[in-house]
């Protein structure tokens, strides 16, 4: 019995403390170093912040360069898929265009009316936009985020909205000097205050880690109300981070808790980083 | 005599193969997500580190593994140091297995690999979920572990061939 325990101790010691010919550090030293780094990275000291930002800058740029061949393959793959479905897409787009032309007329009228009403209550919305390129778009199975090529140098701040066309795609969660990281709506940690239209119900859209979101914290009568209508999910503007009315997605017909996002996060190349300011002139 | 000591470019490139592939994989996050297969993901770095630190640790230094972990954390966006700790724990497991194994056997290695990645992913989930309060999808972790385990024999075969070539070339 004592011998087997001795064997274990010898094997354990040899594994953790002994250095091989070409190893400069023992495993135990490096294990302690990683624990030290984990603890250190949680302190918000200025020097740690600077080192972290420096590491991020170098790694993001290097990763962008290393990912060039994979991105090319991705692009070719998407192009082939697009070519395969070109005729079906054309037919769908034709009917959609006709519908949109009709809606545009109505939309122009509503915009004019909206501007008039804002003037009446002396309110205006100012927004700053920064166009950013997606540097890294790694769809990790655990966290969904993208790295953008604009940072504090371009006045990007934590919490700003990331928009794909007119659709909300996520928000900025980390800012370095020349780049920043945005958490996508599909990430489990993303929670966006939203408004369900036309039933005018407040809810929270939460990410699921997959390509769709989920409706949370809404009224009890929610399932009854949505059974017959097509529900579009917009940002509600609560919390003051996002402008109200940014389209997020629509409620799926198969599952009334599921939100199919308008933006396709796998195809993001360029996005806009936007901050809003509601000016009350009263 | 001098010709015997001459190290050719191919020898050097072969001996640095594990490190180069490890860094490429963490910088590039080999995930094949462009294939758009739902739930499909596997951790290539875990397979690579497990194999090379078990079979030929002289070609994959612990310091490089530590740095690769830091890079992986920065790219994925999780607290710095978590992946390094996990990668080094794989090294600890392989170092221990190496010390207690007299005659290496593929099935034993494969089962040890399953046990190791289950342990590593559990530690990672505990650190991220319970300490850093980052919400995680447990199913994704489980599926990822499953695919990583399934893919091990394929990469074992490839790496084993390369390892044999490295040994032959360096002994030439």
Cβ atoms within 10 Å of B155's Cβ, excluding its own: 16
Radius of gyration, alpha carbons of chain B: 17
| B82 Cα to chain A: minimum distance (Å) | 6
Residue A56 lies in a domain: no
Q: Can you tell me which residue has the tokens 């980052």? A: B134
CATH number of the domain within which A166 lies? 2.40.10.340
A140–B29 C-beta distance less than 8 A: yes
Q: Are A111 and A232 in contact (CB under 8 A)?
A: no
Q: What is the pLDDT of residue B65?
A: 92
Kindly determine whether residue A25 and residue B62, on different chains, have CB atoms separated by under 8 Å.
yes
Which ipTM score applies to this complex?
0.82
Tokens 């003051």, residue located: A240
| pLDDT of the residue at B88 | 92
Asked if the model's pLDDT at residue B37 lies above 50, the reply is yes
**Could B80 and A38 be called an inter-chain contact, meaning their C-beta atoms sit closer than 8 Å?**
yes
Comparing B56 with A223, the larger pLDDT belongs to: B56
For residue A76, being part of any structural domain is answered with no
Any domain includes A162: yes
Residue A218 lies in a domain: yes
pLDDT computed for residue A102 by the predictor: 78
Q: Which residue from A15, A38, A139 is facing B95, i.e. has the nearest CB?
A: A15
Phi, psi for residue A131 in degrees, rounded to 5:
-85, 130
Would you call A141 and B143 a contact, using CB atoms and an 8 Å cutoff? yes
Please indicate whether residue B69 or residue A231 has the higher confidence score (pLDDT): B69
Three-class DSSP category at A268: coil
- Total domains, chain B: 1
Contact at 8 Å (CB) between B76 and A63? no
Measured CA angle at B89 (ends B87, B93), to 5 deg: 120
Q: Tell me if B74 is assigned to some domain.
A: yes
Cβ of B85 within 8 Å of Cβ of A34? The answer is: yes
Distances (CA, A) of B27 to A61, B89, B109: 10, 21, 27
Find the domain containing B74 and state its range: 16-21+43-171
* Residue whose entry in the numeric block shows the structure tokens 């998407």: A78
CA-CA-CA-CA dihedral for A242, A245, A247, A249, to nearest 10: 100
Read off the pLDDT band of B152 (50, 70, 90). very high
Residue A266 is given by DSSP the state: G
Q: In chain A, what residues touch B39 (CB-CB under 8 Å)?
A: 141
A99 in a structural domain:
no
Determine whether the interchain pair B137/A140 forms a contact, defined as Cβ–Cβ distance below 8 Å. no
Lowest mean pLDDT among A69-78, B41-50, B88-97, B102-111: A69-78
User: What tokens were used for B144?
Assistant: 């990822």
pLDDT for position A108: 79
- Rounded to an integer, what distance in angstroms lies between the CA atom of residue A155 and that of residue B25? 32
Which of the 8 DSSP states describes residue B77?
A: T
For residue B49, which residues of chain A lie inside 8 Å, CB to CB? none
| Residues of chain A contacting residue B85, judged by C-beta atoms under 8 Å apart | 31, 34-35, 38
Asked if residue B8 belongs to a domain, the reply is no
User: Would the pLDDT of B6 be above 90?
Assistant: no
Burial of A230 (0-12, 13-18, 19+ CB in 10 A): exposed
- Confidence at residue A5, expressed as pLDDT on a 0 to 100 scale: 63
Question: What is the number of domains present in chain A?
Answer: 1
Residue A254 in any domain: the answer is: yes
Residue pair B92/A16 in contact (Cβ under 8 Å)? The answer is yes
Is A30 close to B34, i.e. CB distance below 8 A?
Answer: no
Q: Tell me, yes or no, whether B31 lies in a domain.
A: no
The verdict on residue A213 lying in a domain is yes
As a dihedral over the C-alpha atoms of residue A85, residue A91, residue A97, residue A99, rounded to 10 degrees, the angle is -120
> Does B38 fall in a domain?
no
Looking at residue B115, what is its pLDDT? 92
A25 token code pair:
């550090």
What is the DSSP secondary-structure string of A33-90?
HHHHHHHHTTS--HHHHHHHHHHHHHHHHHHHHHTHHHHHHHHHHHHHHHHHTHHHHH
CA distance A282 to B127: 50
Residue B27, in any domain of the structure: no
Tell me whether residue A87 is in a domain.
no
Q: Which candidate in B102, B135, B166 is best for mutational testing of the A interface (most A CBs within 10 A)?
A: B135
Per-residue pLDDT of chain A (282 residues; tens, 9 = 90+): 455 666 667 766 666 666 655 566 678 888 888 888 888 877 777 787 788 888 888 888 888 888 888 778 878 888 888 888 888 888 888 888 888 887 887 787 788 888 788 777 776 666 778 888 888 876 666 678 888 888 888 888 888 889 888 888 888 988 888 888 999 988 888 888 888 877 778 888 888 877 788 888 777 666 666 666 778 888 887 777 777 888 888 888 777 788 888 888 877 888 889 887 666 655
Tokens representing A175 are: 């800012």
Q: Where are the beta strands (DSSP E) in A89-198?
A: 123-136, 145-148, 161-164, 167-175, 180-184, 191-197
CA distances from B157 to A58, A253, B21, B48 (A): 34, 47, 16, 12
Q: Identify the domain containing residue A133 by its residue range.
A: 126-280
- Note if the pTM is more than 0.80: no
| Cα–Cα–Cα angle for A194, A200, A204, rounded to 5 degrees | 25
Report chain B residues whose CB lies below 8 A from the CB of A20.
57-58
Chain A residue closest in CA terms to B58: A22
Q: Cα dist. B108→A38, B94, B103 in Å?
A: 33, 12, 10
């Amino acid at each position: 019995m004592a011998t087997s325990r001795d064997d274990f101790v010898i094997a354990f010691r040899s594994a953790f403390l002994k250095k091989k010919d070409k190893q400069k550090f023992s495993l135990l030293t490096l294990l302690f170093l990683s624990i030290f780094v984990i603890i250190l990275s949680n302190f918000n000291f200025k020097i740690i912040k600077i080192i972290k930002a420096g590491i991020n800058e170098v790694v993001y740029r290097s990763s962008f360069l290393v990912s060039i061949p994979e991105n090319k393959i991705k692009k070719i793959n998407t192009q082939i898929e697009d070519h395969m479905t070109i005729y079906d897409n054309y037919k769908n787009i034709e009917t959609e265009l006709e519908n949109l032309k009709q809606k545009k007329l109505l939309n122009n009228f509503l915009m004019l009316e909206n501007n008039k009403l804002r003037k009446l209550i002396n309110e205006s919305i100012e927004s700053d936009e920064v166009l950013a390129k997606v540097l890294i778009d790694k769809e990790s199975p655990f966290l969904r985020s993208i790295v953008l090529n604009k940072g504090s140098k371009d006045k990007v701040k934590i919490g700003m909205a990331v928009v794909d066309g007119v659709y909300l795609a996520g928000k900025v969660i980390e800012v370095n000097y020349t780049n920043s990281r945005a958490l996508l709506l599909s990430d489990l940690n993303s929670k966006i205050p939203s408004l369900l239209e036309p039933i005018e119900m407040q809810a929270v859209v939460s990410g699921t880690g997959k390509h769709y979101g989920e409706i949370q914290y809404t009224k009890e009568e929610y399932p009854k109300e949505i059974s017959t209508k097509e529900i579009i999910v917009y940002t509600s503007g609560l919390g003051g981070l996002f402008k109200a009315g940014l389209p997020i997605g629509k409620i799926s017909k198969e599952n009334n808790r599921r939100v199919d996002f308008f933006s396709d996060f796998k195809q993001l190349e360029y996005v806009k980083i936007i901050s809003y300011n509601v000016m009350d002139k009263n | 005599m001098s010709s015997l000591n001459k190290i050719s470019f191919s020898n050097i490139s072969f001996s640095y193969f594990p490190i180069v592939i490890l860094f490429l994989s963490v910088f590039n996050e080999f995930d094949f997500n462009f294939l758009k297969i739902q739930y499909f993901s596997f951790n290539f770095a875990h397979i690579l580190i497990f194999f090379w630190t078990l079979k030929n640790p002289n070609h994959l230094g612990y310091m490089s593994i530590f740095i690769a972990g830091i890079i992986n954390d920065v790219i994925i966006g999780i607290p710095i140091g978590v992946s390094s700790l996990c990668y080094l724990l794989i090294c600890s497991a392989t170092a221990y297995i190496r010390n207690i194994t007299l005659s290496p056997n593929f099935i034993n290695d494969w089962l040890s690999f399953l046990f190791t990645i289950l342990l590593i992913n559990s530690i990672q989930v505990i650190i991220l979920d319970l300490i850093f309060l980052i919400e995680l999808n447990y199913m994704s972790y489980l599926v990822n572990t499953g695919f990583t385990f399934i893919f091990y024999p394929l990469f074992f075969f490839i790496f084993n061939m390369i390892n044999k070539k490295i040994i032959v070339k360096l002994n030439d």
